[in-house]
Structure 1
């Protein structure tokens, strides 16, 4: 589906009004259907919809592994995704019962409130060089196609130690993480073997998504919140913020980066 739209605007520049064409991103309501029942609607860029639904339900603990997904299909108009899967019914109930408006753009919701889903402490032995991380953070921003065209999206990248990566962009930073994690699972790749680079601030619900996908290292060029730091500390996540140029702040479990 085409996600860029061309419109006519008036630009005010150096005291003059200039008529010109501009490019804006397509924002759509996409409906998720699980085992024949509608479970939620999300405002997002209508691309990578299968991965989005897979990643979201893994983030919420509704499906406990990609092996539990029997099928996932997108409608012809791209606005509905239907999945057949073995599910955790209690965590699906949490999605409705404990629905919390998250702090990110796009107004997402989560049922995965603190202590509602139990996850093992992340003991990944991965170790990486700080210089290597920062070189990829620089590339992360230079190669953001939709952002460069519209200035209107967030980005998430799963980066692996062999320099391969998976990338997603969306109007919502939470959506971008769900999509890239869903891509990894659908391709048989383990997020526990990679690091997550994101464009947004590191709030608690952003870190919780990394916890749920067993990602050991999370990096952003912006700041964490105090609860984000606490969540990372509790679950064994290495949290890095203000990764810019030759510098970054390491907040938790710092021995993974040297």
Structure 2
């Protein structure tokens, strides 16, 4: 597959995704600002209701497929016969040739630290120890610096309205697919669904997220087969432990030309001296630590 830079990206101009709201600022002056819209989306797998997610509701097909893949409800070799999104009823239905019944699995939900009521199931890690990430994958520091600059300056809902998380699939120093949502777990699922739908191979890819490097983020990245995970945010101890167990390269606090790597260090190639730490895009710096750290 010939992938061009940013095949799919956020659309800040989409009127369904934000709206203008009036209020006042710290001086009491009247202001009007853009706020992110969130809507419920109920996912069905064949005839079974699986989950209701709060989402901005763009790319519902990718979100549905990625969620099912990352929850091990959809197998990599499954044949999906249809994905139907009904905006009026706020539902998305995934139909497969294989008969499915996940009644028992749906009883074993475990709350995670993901925002927007993210959940994983008790056996989410059933494939975790089976995945072998590509040892030959590399992350050059020059790629990392260029990636963070490109991602931070790309048009996005975050710059338009905030209250959003972003995930970006990258190859070397090129962002390929940029997804946003109110929950980082939704954003990563959209990327997973897009990859599966278009047959994108993960072994030479880099995954970038604006969110914390938690256990859930590490597990989903490993399940997707991506060997390198980067974030502008920080780490959790269990996230680091799982990354080391899976030999996932884990890079956090990547801002300007600063970063910290805590796992999979052998994949990092220092081909460019950082010199003086580079400044972030001014709009990102003004927003501070975002909603995710």
Paired position in structure 2 for 1:148: 159
Distance 1:238 1:62, change over 3 A: same
Paired position in structure 1 for 2:192: 181
Paired position in structure 2 for 1:199: 210
Distance 1:22 1:247, change over 3 A: closer
Scaled by the length of structure 1, what TM-score is found? Answer: 0.90
> Is 2:115 the counterpart of 1:100?
no
Distance 1:101 1:88, change over 3 A: farther
Is the contact between residue 64 and residue 87 of structure 1 (CA under 8 Å) also seen in structure 2? no
User: Bigger shift: 4-13 or 39-48?
Assistant: 4-13
Distance 1:34 1:256, change over 3 A: same
- CA-to-partner distance for each residue in 1:94-133, whole Å, 9 max, x for gaps? 6413201110210111115464335322134211311211
Distance 1:247 1:86, change over 3 A: farther
User: Bigger shift: 171-180 or 140-149?
Assistant: 140-149
The equivalences for 1:74-93 within 5 A come to: 74-77=85-88, 79-86=90-97, 92-93=102-103
Distance 1:183 1:219, change over 3 A: same
User: Bigger shift: 236-245 or 160-169?
Assistant: 160-169
Deviation for aligned residue 1:138? 2.4
Paired position in structure 1 for 2:79: 68
Is the contact between residue 45 and residue 170 of structure 1 (CA under 8 Å) also seen in structure 2? yes
Distance 1:195 1:86, change over 3 A: farther
Question: d(CA) in 2 for partners of 1:157 and 1:176?
Answer: 9
- Structure 2 spans left out of the alignment, 5+ residues: 1-14, 270-293
Paired position in structure 2 for 1:12: 26
Match for residue 120 of structure 1 among 124, 131, 134: 131
* SS in structure 1 of the partner of residue 41 of structure 2: strand
Higher RCO structure (Cα 8 Å, ≥6 apart):
2
Deviation for aligned residue 1:189? 1.2
Is the contact between residue 144 and residue 173 of structure 2 (CA under 8 Å) also seen in structure 1? no
Question: d(CA) in 2 for partners of 1:192 and 1:105?
Answer: 28
> Is 2:238 the counterpart of 1:236?
no
Report how many aligned residue pairs link the two structures. 254
- C-alpha RMSD of matched pairs (Å): 2.1
Question: d(CA) in 2 for partners of 1:94 and 1:238?
Answer: 34
Distance 1:89 1:78, change over 3 A: closer
